[in-house]
Amino acid sequence: MGTLRSDWLVPQWPAPPGVRAVCSTRAGGVSRAPYDQLNLGDHVGDDPADVARNRTVFSQAIGVTPVFLNQVHGSDVLQLDASTTHGRVADACMTLQRGVACTIMVADCLPVLFTTRTGQCVAAAHAGWRGLALTDGVGVLAHTLRDFCALSQVDTTSVASEIIAWLGPCIGPQAFEVGDEVRDAFVQNDPHACKFFVARTHGKWFANLSGLARLQLNALGICNIYGNDGSTAWCTVGQASRFFSHRRDGVSGRFAVAIWRDL
């Protein structure tokens, strides 16, 4: 692995030896305002040359090859290998191959990382509210876990003991205001989701994105979940100097969360 910046976030979780993960911040890149500094998104209006330089900085820092997706708030899961090119449409990715980083770009949505206890397979998912909202009982986390279990050959009855997850920074429950339609999209599929919405004004709610993700992961059998607990320390909106936030700034860069198997 290369040299990570001291202000980047390294997950504190019991990942097995050989599995690495990191969450970048705004610091360390060349982009100018409003994308300053380490914007890794090539779809937000930033100078393409600056984005390319920033991606090189990120790649050199982690010491492996990150694969950047074209994320569309869907639930498609892509299996990565050394030949996978940037820009493939998917909102989750996974790999068995060493030296390839499953990479998710975010600026308020929730990044979720997965690894098996043995470390033979890793995955990452982009979980905004649209991806989390279940369609016929299946959202991006359910799709990711289904494909991840198939790839890693983890029996669905062994999910609780064999798979661990980490939730990265996202818009916090004190900042994520949504309408009735968002709350309804969750509660109609799982009445327990109502506890993750706090009434603000008529027809408006504060939503706890990481809490909703934990609820779904628990329902899928994953009980070993680390990282974002919904506290202010994890909120992208409240940390303008550290994290990009589309909700806060309108025009914004993207930071990245990546997981990989060491070479």
The predicted structure's pLDDT at residue 255: 98
Residues whose CB is less than 8 angstroms from the CB of residue 224 and which lie 6 or more positions away in sequence, other chains included: 14, 160, 163, 164, 165
Whether residue 211 lies inside any domain: the answer is: no
Query: Any idea what the CATH number is for the domain that residue 80 is in?
Result: 3.60.140.10
Nearest Cα to Cα of residue 224 among 177, 160, 168: 160
Is pTM beyond 0.85? Reply is: yes
Is the separation of the CB atoms in 178 and 134 below 8 Å?
no
Which tokens go with 77? Answer: 């899961």
| Number of folded domains that form the chain | 1
Find the domain containing 103 and state its range: 19-171+222-261
Whether residue 230 lies inside any domain: the answer is: yes
Q: Residue 79 forms beta bridges with which residues?
A: 94
The predicted structure's pLDDT at residue 138: 83
Based on C-alpha coordinates, what's the Rg of the chain?
A: 17
The predicted structure's pLDDT at residue 137: 67
Whether residue 191 lies inside any domain: the answer is: no
Whether residue 157 lies inside any domain: the answer is: yes
Whether residue 207 lies inside any domain: the answer is: no
Q: Give the C-alpha distances (Å, rounded to integers) separating 89 from 104, 113, 148, 157.
A: 12, 18, 18, 30
pLDDT along the chain (263 residues), means of 10: 86 97 97 97 97 97 97 96 96 97 98 97 97 84 96 93 97 97 94 96 96 97 97 96 96 98 92
Beta strands 92-95 and 77-79 are parallel
Whether residue 196 lies inside any domain: the answer is: no
Angle at 237 between CA 236 and CA 243, to 5 degrees: 40
